[in-house]
Amino acid sequence: MSQCARVNSSCKRCEGELPFEFTMAFQPIVDLSLAQIVAYEALVRGIHGESAWSVISQVTDDLLYRFDQTCRVKAIEMASALDMQTDLSINFLPNAVYEPEACIQATLEVSKRVGWPTHRLIFEITETERVRDRQHLCNIIDAYRSMGFKTALDDFGNGYANLDLLTDLTPDKLKIDRELVMNCDSDFRRQALLNAIILLAQELDTTLIAEGVETRAEALWLARAGIVRQQGFYFAKPAINSLCPDISPLLAELKNEVESCSGAVNERD
């Protein structure tokens, strides 16, 4: 698993042209306690705005490493060109990394070239259900942390339980899947689960991010429960090769609404 194909500083697994083109869209992650955008997630898209799937379906096993590397480089180059001032969150497939130290070289090189500080990079660990070698994943996370990157566990609570990964891993952030977020303002079962996850995150000292927030009611319930970092269509859709329009009035309004409600609760106490 750990044999790197890098020979004389080039890697035959991950270097070379891909036989298809793609671009990146960026979707903001907001913090409602700050009323600010704190990060953008880079999402793969076709060059004419086609879905992520239309691109990813062309990635054969042979191209996996090259594709993963190209995504990182493209995301950092584009974020820099757009003058993004926040963190940048990049999805990564643990199975596309052989040797963390070697496979990160292209990322480090492009970060240096465009002047993107490594502490402003977050790697979202996706498709954890396909990770067969748990130790390999732990090694990647440890190596990334020692290099100054932040890590997030993606799609938490969806389908394959990745709850058990937390026995071995401590990511900086947990991204709660839309599956748990939808209708959280009115669904008491989801509220019970989310409240349990909030306690878990406090114990493990990890930051929660709710994904797939689509309504104001969901955003407010989550923020009042303590999940102030959120992402979803309610705030902004992913924008191809651009940052989202100014949403600061919306964020300020939500912050006020959350705070006025907490004040009311405190007064009752």
Task: List residues near Ca ion by CB under 5 A.
Answer: 91, 124, 154
Pick 68 or 124: Cβ nearer Ca ion: 124
State the Cα–Cα distance between residues 87 and 150, nearest whole angstrom: 10
Q: How far is the CB of 174 from Ca ion (least distance, A)?
A: 12
Residue with tokens 């949403």: 247
Q: How far is the CB of 177 from Ca ion (least distance, A)?
A: 10
Pick 68 or 154: Cβ nearer Ca ion: 154
Pick 99 or 154: Cβ nearer Ca ion: 154
2: number of Cβ within 10 Å: 10
Q: How far is the CB of 3 from Ca ion (least distance, A)?
A: 28
Q: How far is the CB of 90 from Ca ion (least distance, A)?
A: 9
Pick 33 or 158: Cβ nearer Ca ion: 158
- Nearest CA-CA partner of 196 in 216, 172, 166, 171: 166
- Token readout for 178 is 């839309």
Q: How far is the CB of 121 from Ca ion (least distance, A)?
A: 14
Q: What is the dihedral of CA 123, 126, 131, 133, to 10 degrees?
A: 10
Residue with tokens 């493990």: 204
Pick 31 or 124: Cβ nearer Ca ion: 124
